[in-house]
């Protein structure tokens, strides 16, 4: 079954088709079924897509029904995102879905047997993709390309493949290729790197004061390798809510045009679709209302804002204050459709 999934379900998703008037935001859902208020808001505001969390996922039949309802409301095969990394970060959980290993497992295997690691990772990625495809989910916020750093906050920890940027890049590229071949758009994260942070950006704003030259040859390297690869234009990337003091000592990456222009777009060379991490994370608390933060992210160079808390009043505020997809974003979405199935 898995070998038939790879390639057989391959497609070039044109998320831009019919989305010219879509809001430049990913919305979320409060529960397992849509409320009347959510139905009315989603129908009228036309968000570009939606993200699912464990609170939305009871069993495969329920998830498929929810996903179909969301797509019907906006009238297109819109992006349906999920964080299904494996290990600690899984929204689909047993007993209805499989348990998956953390990425560090495959990095450890790679140190002793590269081919065994790649084959095991291929099998795991395709099993995971199989469940996403069955549910109608078409975008996965994975793989994590952050490096593991001893002594850093454990928010990344075993979610990272390795402390070696070459291993992270090689295994991350394999995950991206297999997802794309199965019809799943991967989101590499957290660009340009979250591994050094000594704080959890869900709870506070981390600051990193490492010199730019060191960051460029270590933390940035896996993202640069994916951006330069054959799938560089097809993957999306998610920003890190971190202040890198040697890049911009005032604003986190997600809100910094200096960081996005000079580091993500130029140094790393990533020209695909860029989505900011969740607007509701406490790292961004001091930067204004939810729509203030979203507009700052878009003005800085993000293509999409992401709102994950599922509160209708906040999403209503976003709907009233955010622009539709930009011309640059639509071009990036079109470019992503040029990806072709490849041997991996």
- Give the tens place of pLDDT for each residue, 51-87: 999 999 999 999 999 999 999 999 999 999 999 999 9
Nearest partner of 171 among 151, 152, 186, 184, judged by Cα:
186
Q: Which residue, 309, 278, 279, 236, is CA-closest to 56?
A: 309
Mean pLDDT of 151-171: 96
Record the pTM. 0.94
Chain Cα centroid distance, residue 30:
20
* Average pLDDT value over all residues in the chain: 94
Structural domains in the chain (count): 1
Residue 12 has pLDDT above 70, yes or no: no
Tell whether the model's pLDDT for residue 4 goes beyond 60: no
Question: Strand locations in 112-215, DSSP E?
Answer: 139-140, 185-191, 207-208
Give percent of the chain above pLDDT 90.
91
Tell me what pLDDT residue 14 has.
86
Whether 295 maps to a domain, the answer reads: yes
Residue 237 lies in a domain: yes
pLDDT of residue 341: 52
Picking from 340, 330, 248, 268, the residue whose alpha carbon sits closest to that of residue 17 is 330
Asked if residue 213 is part of any domain, the answer here is: yes
Does residue 198 carry a catalytic annotation? no
| In a domain? residue 176 | yes
49 found inside a domain: yes
Mean pLDDT value across residues 123-150: 97
Token digits of residue 327: 């011309």
pLDDT exceeds cutoff 70 at 300:
yes
- pLDDT of 261 > 90? The answer is yes
Domain that holds residue 130: 2-336
Percent of the chain with pLDDT over 70: 95
Query: Which pLDDT band, with edges at 50, 70 and 90, does 338 fall under?
Result: confident
Please check whether residue 165 lies inside any domain of the structure: yes
pLDDT digits (tens, 9 = 90+) for 83-125: 999 999 999 999 999 999 999 999 999 999 999 999 999 999 9
What Å distances lie between residue 145 and 11, 102, 227, CA to CA? Answer: 24, 13, 12
Query: Which of 157, 154, 125 lies closest to 140, judged by CA?
Result: 125
Q: Average pLDDT of 323-344?
A: 83
Structure tokens that stand for 20 in this block: 């010219």
Q: Does residue 343 lie in a domain region?
A: no
What span, in angstroms and rounded, lies between the C-alpha atoms of 135 and 138?
A: 9
What's the rounded Cα separation, in Å, for the pair 185 and 24?
Answer: 18
Give the residue-averaged pLDDT of 211-220: 96
Catalytic residue among 202, 214, 249, 299: 202
pLDDT of the residue at 11: 52
DSSP 8-state symbol, 171: H
Is 341 within the bounds of a domain? no
Active-site residue 202, yes or no? Answer: yes
Cα dihedral 318→324→326→332 (10° resolution): 90
Mean pLDDT on 122-137: 97
Of the pLDDT bands very low, low, confident and very high (cuts 50, 70, 90), residue 2 is: very low
Residue of 144, 32, 122, 52 lying closest to 92 (CA atoms)? 52
pLDDT at 10 (0 to 100):
45
Q: Which of 219, 225, 267, 277 is catalytic?
A: 277
What pLDDT sits at residue 7?
Answer: 42
Domain CATH code at residue 7: 3.20.20.300
């Amino acid at each position: 079954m898995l070998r038939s999934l790879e390639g057989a379900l391959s497609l070039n998703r044109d998320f831009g088709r019919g989305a010219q008037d879509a809001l430049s935001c990913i919305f979320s859902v409060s529960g397992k079924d849509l409320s009347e208020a959510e139905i009315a808001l989603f129908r009228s505001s036309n968000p570009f897509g939606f993200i699912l969390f464990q609170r939305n996922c009871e069993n495969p039949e329920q998830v498929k029904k929810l996903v179909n309802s969301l797509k019907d409301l906006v009238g297109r095969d819109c992006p349906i995102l999920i964080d299904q990394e494996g290990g600690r970060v899984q929204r689909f959980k047993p007993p209805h879905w499989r348990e998956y290993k953390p990425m560090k497992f495959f990095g450890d295997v790679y140190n002793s047997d590269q081919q065994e690691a790649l084959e095991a990772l291929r099998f795991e990625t395709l099993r995971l993709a199989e469940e996403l495809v069955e549910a109608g989910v078409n975008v996965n916020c994975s793989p994590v390309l952050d490096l593991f750093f001893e002594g850093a906050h454990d928010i990344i920890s075993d979610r990272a493949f390795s402390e070696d940027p070459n291993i992270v890049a090689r295994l991350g590229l394999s995950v991206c290729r297999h997802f794309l071949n199965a019809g799943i758009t991967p989101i590499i994260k957290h660009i340009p790197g979250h591994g050094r942070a000594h704080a959890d950006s869900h709870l506070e704003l981390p600051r990193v004061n490492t010199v730019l030259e060191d960051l460029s040859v270590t933390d940035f390297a896996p993202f640069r390798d994916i951006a330069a690869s054959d799938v560089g234009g097809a993957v999306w990337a998610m920003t890190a809510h971190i202040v890198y003091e040697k890049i911009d000592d005032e604003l986190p990456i997600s809100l910094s045009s200096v960081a996005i222009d000079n580091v993500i777009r130029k140094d790393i060379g990533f020209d695909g679709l860029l989505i900011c991490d969740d607007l509701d994370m406490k790292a961004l608390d001091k930067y204004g209302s939810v729509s203030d933060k979203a507009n700052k992210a878009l003005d800085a160079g993000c293509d999409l804002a992401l709102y994950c808390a599922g509160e209708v009043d906040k999403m209503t505020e976003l709907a009233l204050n955010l622009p539709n997809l930009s011309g640059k974003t639509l071009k990036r979405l079109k470019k992503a459709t040029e990806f072709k199935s490849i041997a991996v």
